[in-house]
């Protein structure tokens, strides 16, 4: 499983937070597929910082799990 983040340049007007796009790809157990997707959707929908790094809140503004496969 691969996890990639990149700044969301379209949605970074808030100086206190950094909006990021999270992309997950690869293969995982089918047992974990739904919980992973649900967690990412929850983070995106909340629009709250999921972690603070050096005083900057990291907010998931977009997520993509289209290339994540459960086996």
pTM above 0.95, yes or no: no
DSSP letters for the chain: -EEEEEE-GGG---TTEEEEEEEEEEEE-HHHHHHHHHHHHHHHHH-S-SEEETTEEEEEEEEEEEEEEE-
**pLDDT at residue 11 above 80?**
no
Report CA-CA distances (Å) from 71 to 17, 26, 36.
36, 11, 14
pLDDT in tens, 36-50: 999 999 999 999 999
């Amino acid at each position: 499983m691969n996890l990639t983040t990149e700044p969301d340049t379209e949605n970074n007007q808030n100086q206190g937070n950094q909006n990021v796009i999270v992309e997950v790809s690869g293969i995982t157990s089918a047992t974990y597929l739904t919980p992973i997707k649900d967690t990412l959707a929850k983070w995106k929908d909340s629009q709250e910082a999921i972690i603070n790094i050096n005083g900057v809140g990291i907010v998931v503004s977009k997520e993509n799990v289209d290339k994540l496969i459960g086996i």
